[in-house]
Amino acid sequence: MSLFSRLAFEKSAHGLADLPVTRREIAFAGRSNAGKSSAINALAGRRAAFVSKTPGRTQLINFFRIADGDYLVDLPGYGYARVPEAVRRQWQKVLSRYLEGRQSLVGLVLIMDARHPLTPLDRQMIHWFSPTQRPLHCLLTKADKLSRSEAARTLRLVQRELAEIWPAATVQLFSSLKKEGLVEAEAVLARWLGRAA
């Protein structure tokens, strides 16, 4: 049985004041429409997270129970163009404070569309999180939309750029559609939690 096969939605928090007490959390962040919900569903092996048709609507922080006290946290997607400036600023405040200050956060998974990796907002997330010195793992999603050679080239480019901004970060190709990269991702997250993948 995989680490995430019992993943179960537990609660949506509306803001920082509303976050539940947890022992350990792994957060998933990414631009809206990058494929975050699909990646969570792929890891769970079923539809655990909602896949949005209208990106950028929700500001909820969704908590999924992995197992006793350990949670996967689905952060609100960022970068959706049609969001009013005041709302955008509020999201940034929530994301920055969560990434900088959440004590039970053991690692961050950054979801990036393999065709558009390391956008300024992705770099902003890394900038907020890196002072915590906790691990970062990047999933380059929708890798099935690239040819094998394009995907390999993208992986090398992102590895090279991350080596400059945060050498401890790891990165891999991922496809929810083709179920590629699941074993590799699970192994990383299981290591963070000291559990079997």
Residues in contact with ligand GDP by the rule CB under 6 A:
30, 32-38, 51-52, 55, 77, 141-142, 144-145, 175-177
Q: Residue 184 Cβ, how far from ligand GDP at the closest point, in Å?
A: 14
Q: Residue 177 Cβ, how far from ligand GDP at the closest point, in Å?
A: 4
Q: What is the per-residue DSSP string for the chain?
A: --TTTT-EEEEEESSGGGPPP-SEEEEEEEBTTSSHHHHHHHHHTS--SPPPSSTT----EEEEEEETTEEEEEPPPB--TTS-HHHHHHHHHHHHHHHHH-TTEEEEEEEEETTS-S-HHHHHHHHHHGGG---EEEEEE-GGGS-HHHHHHHHHHHHHHHHHH-TT-EEEE-BTTTTBSHHHHHHHHHHHHT---
Nearer to ligand GDP, 114 or 164 (CB): 114
Nearer to ligand GDP, 80 or 129 (CB): 80
Nearer to ligand GDP, 48 or 136 (CB): 48
Nearer to ligand GDP, 13 or 177 (CB): 177
Q: Residue 78 Cβ, how far from ligand GDP at the closest point, in Å?
A: 10
Q: Residue 163 Cβ, how far from ligand GDP at the closest point, in Å?
A: 25
Q: How is residue 181 written in tokens?
A: 């990269």
Q: Residue 161 Cβ, how far from ligand GDP at the closest point, in Å?
A: 21
Nearer to ligand GDP, 145 or 191 (CB): 145
